[in-house]
């Protein structure tokens, strides 16, 4: 069974440029998460989807970040324009069921972003 797929794995851009990350969750997983992991820190939730619906985007900086999950499968996370402080690893995760004791999140390898 394929795991969570993310691309690109690495991205270097100049500040003020746009950037986009793509995530393909495990087949059949309805819940999808985007996390940001700063250097030396644990992951922090940006947004959670249940199917196509963003059910928790309270931590997403909406002035420059946007996300979508068309058709409830793949998802993209966009930053426009990028700032120096956006340099981090962006992790995507998926789970079969949302919440509850049976929820287990499976993580992708992440996209490492460097903003110069």
Partner 1 sequence: AQSVTQLDSQVPVFEEAPVELRCNYSSSVSVYLFWYVQYPNQGLQLLLKYLSGSTLVKGINGFEAEFNKSQTSFHLRKPSVHISDTAEYFCAVRAGGYQKVTFGTGTKLQVIP
Among the residue ranges 14-22, 64-72, 74-82, 103-111, the one whose residues contact partner 1 (CB under 8 A)? 103-111
Q: Does 91 bind partner 1 (CB under 8 A)?
A: yes
Give the C-alpha separation, 105 to 19, whole Å: 25
Of the candidates 67, 50, 48, 68, the one whose C-alpha atom is nearest the C-alpha of residue 58 is 48
Radius of gyration of the chain (CA): 13
Q: Smaller CB distance to partner 1: residue 85 or 102?
A: 102
Minimal distance in Å, beta carbon 16 to partner 1? 27
Is there a contact between 65 and 46 (Cβ–Cβ < 8 Å)?
yes
From residue 34 to residue 53, the character string flagging contacts with partner 1 as x (rule: CB under 8 A) and all else as - is ------xxxxxx--x-----
CB neighbours of residue 14 within 10 Å: 10
Give the C-alpha separation, 15 to 86, whole Å: 9
Site for partner 1 in 4-33 (CB under 8 A): 4, 6, 9
Judged by CB under 8 A, the number of residues near partner 1 is 26
By CB under 8 A, name the binding residues for partner 1: 4, 6, 9, 40-45, 48, 55-56, 91, 93, 98-101, 104-110, 112
């Amino acid at each position: 069974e394929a795991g969570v797929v993310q691309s690109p794995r690495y991205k270097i851009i100049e500040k003020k440029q746009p950037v986009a990350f793509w995530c393909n969750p495990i087949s059949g997983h309805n819940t999808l998460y985007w996390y940001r992991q700063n250097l030396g820190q644990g992951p922090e939730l940006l947004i959670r989807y249940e199917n196509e619906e963003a059910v928790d985007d309270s931590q997403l900086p909406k002035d420059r970040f946007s996300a979508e999950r068309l058709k409830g499968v793949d998802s993209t996370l966009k930053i426009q324009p990028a700032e120096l402080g956006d340099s981090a690893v962006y992790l995507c995760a998926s789970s079969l069921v949302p919440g509850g004791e049976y929820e287990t999140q499976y993580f992708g390898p992440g996209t490492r972003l460097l903003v110069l």
